[in-house]
Structure 1
Amino acid sequence: MVIRYGIIGCGHIARKHVEAIRATDGAILSAVCDKDPERMEPYLGDGVEGTVDVEEFLGRTDLDVVNICTPSGFHADLTVRAAEAGKHVLVEKPMALTLEDADRMIQACRENGVQLSVVHPNRFRPAIRELRKRLEAGAFGKFSHANATVRWNRNQEYYDQASWRGTRAMDGGVLMNQAIHNLDLLLWMMGDVEEVSSYHATRLRRMEAEDTSVSILKFKNGALGVIEAAVTLYPRNLEESLALFGEKGTAVVGGPTANWIQAWQFADLSEGQSEEVRRRVHEDPYGIPGHQCLIRDMTDAVQSGRRPLVTGEDGRRALALVIACQTAAETGRPVRMDELVKAGGLQ
């Protein structure tokens, strides 16, 4: 069974979705939608049709999955409308800007019997897959702490390119926009967070949201954590890393993007075994593009009826952590995640 995709929002990120669909067996691109006809133009032809009308797009009978690639503030309403039209949904990060909206999205997809997946492609990086294998094998033992770091550059020109960038209503700041992928990985490895304390600031960029953020976490398993995120690095991206520290293991995945193994020491591995993992990852640090992995997964999930590997609930967890950090910074008080999650609605 061929799964037919449609993309709404033909900005920069849409290109990755188109390439991923075209590279996936059993998937085809049927239609695109954007309010600007010129942005659709590169994707039209060879059976792909375009429309500026969202209702017309969602009403098409030749669409199984809708990929939502619009500014973040539109994700929730478009997901609900797509679900009500009987379409499965693959939505870019962040899935929404509030927990209430995330809950609406999850509920709409449940009620209409369609799948919901959130684009967190970094889970499919070779180094991250190796890290997850070590975690599932119990190789770390008891965790002491973990660090998630995003030290990147997004200059003022980046925010000036579109009026919605850096706004609270449509985009968010460094946590919501750039660091949320790393926070998804942190939660995937370390489990749920119990409490958050945070500071954030808008130091160098002219934008509504934060350009710099530092947070301290306490995980439910008792381990501690640090999040450092900034888009103020001069003159270019410096580092994205995830570091896990346990009684029997130390691992750091880093580099300008978290694709390379920088530390890999475990009590149950010899130096030679560790070096072999490091060598294998460094030979192909990027692997299959993450968006392609997500399209493959969604295609199989729709065909088989199983849930996607990255669910709406997964996207909500990362969103909740971002909102907890923002709330702690704005109130000057620690935020307990259980209170925040309950306030959002769904558990």
Structure 2
Amino acid sequence: MLNFAIVGCGHIAKKHAEAIERAEGAALIAVCDTIPENMEFYRNTYNARIYTDYTEMLANKDIDVINICTPSGFHASLAVQGAEAKKHIVVEKPIALLLKDTNAMIDACEQNGVKLAVVHPNRFRPAMKKLKEVIESGKLGKISHVNATVRWNRNQAYYDQAPWRGTKGLDGGVLMNQAIHNLDLMLWMMGGIHEVFSMSATRIRDIEAEDVCTGLVKFTSGALGVIETATTIYPKNFEESLAIFGEKGSIKIGGPTAVNVEHWVVEGTTELETEELMKSIKADPFGKPGHQCIIEDMVEAVHENREPIVTGEDGKKALELVLALYESSENNQPVKMQPQEVLN
């Protein structure tokens, strides 16, 4: 049994608490927040010990893993402090807002012999796992291009809930906050990126960061990609999708939250096989909750002394892509990613 603690008891913390409660081999024993009333739910529901002082909580030797659920701008300092206290770290997306902070987190965990996992739970959805299997099998042949789309609604009331929402220093815009899951999936499926070009704007929401962004990418494989993300869609979430097109097939996973198989044509796969695949995913589109998968994987990673499925380096790659898109948009120039691998 691994004992977990949560720091930051805002909205997303409840998902973590539920995941820990459901996960085999995990228990929630403590929470930390600067506002005492935010923690009453966890004390009453999970009998968790409450702390207003993070350093004091880290001194609790019974805690094995810290789940960081604070605003993104605080992730790095809390993760480094937690690693130095010899606690394993599960951090919400994005891993951090700056590369130097991300590197500090990864280094601190390596130097202190603890695990670092980043919450990108969409990798565990049944349709995405099937798509990953098909790509790795080579059945699609050479990939020509990919389309990643997030057409969501986050109204002004959402941003007005807390002063940090939509800020560049603590939160970020649609790319950093909402679309980073989709970007992680694209990287997971397609590998490294050679070059990006982007345009972004703050068109409708009264926030500091962007509420709409479009981008083009060239992967190190030579394949191309199109990114379209927005929180301006009226009146509610419309679409989140990932579509991949190859010489021997084309697949689109879509719907409001990218769990539905909307198109699946692969050379050598019969219509009956495709129907059965689509039927099985439709019966359970979300599968086991992604946060629960992240928690259970952390438990197994500690016991087996291996890296988590979604590592700090994975989180860093998604952040690097977001920052490159921001740089391109700001300068109105293409940005080459490092390292620049040879294209096929």
Q: Taking structure 1 as the reference length, what is the TM-score of the superposition?
A: 0.97
Q: Are 1:334 and 2:334 matched, yes or no?
A: yes
The alpha carbon displacement at 1:47 in A equals 4.3
Q: Is the 8 A contact 1:3 1:303 kept in 2?
A: no
Alignment match, 2:226: 226
Residue 24 (str. 1) matches residue 62 (str. 2):
no
Kindly indicate whether the alpha-carbon contact (under 8 Å) linking 1:93 and 1:118 is maintained by their aligned counterparts in 2: yes
1:1-347 map, 5 Å: 2-45=1-44, 47-338=47-338
Q: Quote the Cα distance in structure 2 between the aligned partners of 1:297 and 1:281.
A: 22
Query: What is the SS of the residue equivalent to 2:105?
Result: helix
Cα distance, 1:339 vs. partner? 6.5
1:343 corresponding residue in structure 2: none
**Residue 28 of structure 1 aligns to a residue in which SS?**
strand
Amino acid at match of 1:336: K
In structure 2, what is the Cα distance between the partners aligned to 1:268 and 1:118? 36
Distance (whole Å) between structure 1 residues aligned to residue 5 and residue 74 of structure 2 = 16
Deviation sequence 1:286-343 (CA, Å, 0-9, x none) = 1110000101100111111111000000000001000010100001110001179xxx
SS at match of 1:297: helix
* C-alpha separation in 2, matches of 1:138 and 1:239: 28
Which string of whole-angstrom CA distances, capped at 9 and with x for unpartnered residues, describes residues 173-208 of structure 1? Answer: 000000000000000001111000000000000001
Deviation at 1:233, TM superposition (A): 0.2
Moved more, 268-277 or 195-204: 268-277
1:140-173 CA-partner distances (Å, limit 9, x unpaired): 1100000000000000010111000000000000
2: CA distance between counterparts of 1:68 and 1:303? 21
Deviation, structure 1 residue 110 = 0.4
2:34 is matched by which residue type in structure 1?
Answer: K
Q: Which residue identity lines up with residue 91 of structure 2 in the other structure?
A: V
Partners of 1:306 and 1:218 lie apart in 2 by 32
- Equivalents in 1 of 2:104, 2:226: separation in Å? 30
> How big is each residue's C-alpha offset from its partner over 1:52-75, in whole Å with a ceiling of 9 and x where there is no partner?
001101111010000000000000
Cα distance in 1 between the residues matched to 2:24 and 2:99: 35
Question: Which runs of at least 4 in structure 1 moved beyond 2 Å after TM superposition?
Answer: none
Deviation at 1:133, TM superposition (A): 1.0
AA matched with 1:18: A
Percent identity, please.
57
CA distance in 2, matches of 1:102, 1:173: 18
Residues of 2 paired with 1:194 and 1:41: CA distance? Answer: 48
User: Is the partner of 1:167 in helix, strand or coil?
Assistant: coil
Aligned residue identity for 1:306: R
Q: What SS does the corresponding residue of 2:264 show, helix, strand or coil?
A: strand
Residue 13 of structure 1 aligns to a residue in which SS?
helix
Amino acid across the alignment from 2:21: R
1:44 maps to a residue whose letter is R
**Paired residues, what number?**
340
Q: Whole-Å Cα distance in 1 between the matches of residues 281 and 23 of structure 2?
A: 23
Deviations, residues 58-99 of structure 1 (Å, cap 9, x unaligned): 111010000000000000000000000000000000010011
SS of 1:90 mapped into structure 2: strand
Secondary structure of the 1:44 match is helix
TM-score in terms of structure 2 length: 0.97
